[in-house]
Chains A and B, each alone.
Chain A
Amino acid sequence: MTARPAREGHVQADGVTIPWVETGQGTPLVHVQGVDAPRLTPAHEVLGRQYRVIAFGQPPDDATRSRPELASTMAVAITKLGADTFNLLGSSAGGAVALWLALQARERVLALVLEAPAAIRHGDAGDDLESRLEELATPTLVLFGTRDAVVTPDMGGVYKERIPSCHLVFVYDAGHSIAVDRPEAFSEVVGDFLERHEAFVISRTATVINP
Chain B
Amino acid sequence: MKVSYFETARYRPPRPLAPEWPVPSGDYDRDAGADAYRGMIERIRYVEELGFDWVSVSEHHYSPRILTPAPIVSASFIAAQVKRITIALLGPIVPQSNPVRVAEELAMLDTLAEGRLVVGLLRGTTNEYLTYDLNPAEARERTDEGMELILKAWTEPQPFGWQGRHFRYRTISIWPRPLQRPHPPTYALGISRESCEFAARHRLGCGVSYAPFEVVAKATRYYREQCARHGWEPAPEQIVYRANMALAETDDEAHAFLRSQPTTAPFSMRAEVSGAFMTLDSRNVAGEARPAIRSGALPTTFIGGPDTIVEQVRRCRDEVGAGVLDLSLVPPGWGDPDLLMRSLELFGTKVLPRIRDL
Contacts and interface: CB of A to CB of B under 8 A. Distances in A.
Interface stretch (A53-61, A103-111, A125-133, A153-161): A153-161
A148 B99 CA distance: 22
A52 interface: no
A189 B165 contact: no
B19 interface: no
B214 interface: no
Q: Which of B145, B156, B161, B167 has the most CB of A within 10 A?
A: B161
Contact of B158 (A160, A182, A200): A160
Interface string A160-172: 1100000111111
A160 B163 contact: no
Interface residues of A, number: 23
- A interface: dominant SS: mixed
Interface in B119-158: 145, 148-149, 152, 156-158
Q: Which of B156, B158, B165, B171 has the most CB of A within 10 A?
A: B158
A161 B156 CA distance: 12
Contacts of A146: 148, 152
Given A146-B148, A157-B156, A170 B162 contact: yes
Q: How large is the interface on B (under 10, 10 to 19, 20 to 34, 35 or more residues)?
A: 10 to 19
A168 B161 contact: yes
Given A146-B148, A200-B170, A201-B171, A172 B162 contact: yes
B160 A203 contact: no
B161 A157 contact: no
B156 A172 contact: no
Contact of A189 (B148, B149, B161): B161
Contact of A170 (B157, B163, B165, B171): B163
Interface in A165-203: 167-173, 182, 185-186, 188-189, 200-203
Contact of A172 (B157, B158, B164): B164
A115 to B, nearest CB: 12
Contacts of A160: 158-160
A117 to B, nearest CB: 15
Contact of B163 (A172, A201, A202): A172
Nearest to A188: B163
Given A157-B156, A157-B158, A169 B170 contact: yes
A156 B170 contact: no
Contacts of B167: 172
A172 B149 CA distance: 9
A182 B168 CA distance: 14
Contact of B165 (A161, A167, A173): A173
Contacts of B149: 172
Given A169-B170, A200-B170, A189 B163 contact: yes
A157 B158 CA distance: 5
A36 B164 CA distance: 30
A172 B161 contact: no
Contact of B160 (A168, A189, A205): A168
Interface string B202-240: 000000000000000000000000000000000000000
Contacts of A185: 163-165
Contacts of A189: 161, 163
Contacts of B157: 157
Contact of A173 (B145, B158, B160, B168): B145
A68 B157 CA distance: 30
A168 to B, nearest CB: 5
A126 to B, nearest CB: 27
A170 B152 contact: yes
A170 B169 CA distance: 10
A204 to B, nearest CB: 11
Contacts of A172: 145, 148-149, 162-165, 167
B145 A201 contact: no
A201 to B, nearest CB: 4
A156 B170 CA distance: 15
A179 B206 CA distance: 33
A172 B159 CA distance: 16
B163 A169 contact: yes
Contacts of A182: 163
Nearest to A169: B161
Interface in A43-79: none
B164 to A, nearest CB: 4
Interface string B159-193: 11111110110110000000000000000000000
Nearest to B166: A172
13 contacts: A160-B159, A160-B160, A167-B161, A169-B160, A169-B162, A170-B161, A170-B163, A172-B149, A172-B165, A185-B164, A189-B161, A201-B170, A205-B168
Closest 9 CB pairs of A and B: A169-B161, A157-B158, A172-B164, A201-B170, A160-B158, A171-B163, A168-B160, A189-B163, A185-B163
Given A170-B152, A172-B164, 14 more contacts: A156-B158, A157-B156, A160-B158, A168-B158, A168-B160, A169-B162, A170-B161, A170-B162, A172-B163, A173-B165, A185-B163, A189-B163, A201-B171, A203-B170
